[in-house]
Structure 1
Amino acid sequence: MNVASETISRLFVARAQEGIGREDWLGNAQITPGNAVLLRPPAGQGCLFNIRVVYVGGRTEDRPGVDLCAAPELRFEGSKAAPSSSR
């Protein structure tokens, strides 16, 4: 759930031992403030995942080691977001 004031433009999910995912799970979609998407772990991949959201403008917010089998809701607030890098 996006409870931040900014739109989430990208969502990366990877198994906990694999770092940050490379595939954007949102594709061309976005998660605007107040909206949410349903995430389910891929079959046979376990439950622990690293999640990264990228806000419009490039700021990122990471949630390492999330148990998607047990987490009823993840709230992305933008307050834990890191500024975009200037690389």
Structure 2
Amino acid sequence: VGIAEVAKEGYPDFTAWDPKDSHYDPKTDPENPRWIMVDVRFVRKFSHTVSLKSLKANPALKDMRLIQRGNRLSVMPVEKKEWLAILKMEKST
């Protein structure tokens, strides 16, 4: 568990067009891509794990998209106040 940052903004996920790839999706095409990918860069590892359970238990994060039902995106925006709360949790775990 740690910090990564988006290194390159979203672009079509070309693996979805390759029938030999495990991410192949026959319903998408280069003219109308259904899947978007981003490149990420490692920043640092957390000193302690901050679990999803602990995030859900933190009242400061009650409105965070990650906590809400049906929101388990690989990459999603995090508000500054949410980010600061997570960093505080890392230090106190």
Pairwise TM-score range, normalised by the shorter structure? under 0.3
TM-score (norm 2): 0.25
TM-score (norm 1): 0.26
Q: As a proportion of its length, which structure holds more strand?
A: 1
Q: As a proportion of its length, which structure holds more helix?
A: 2
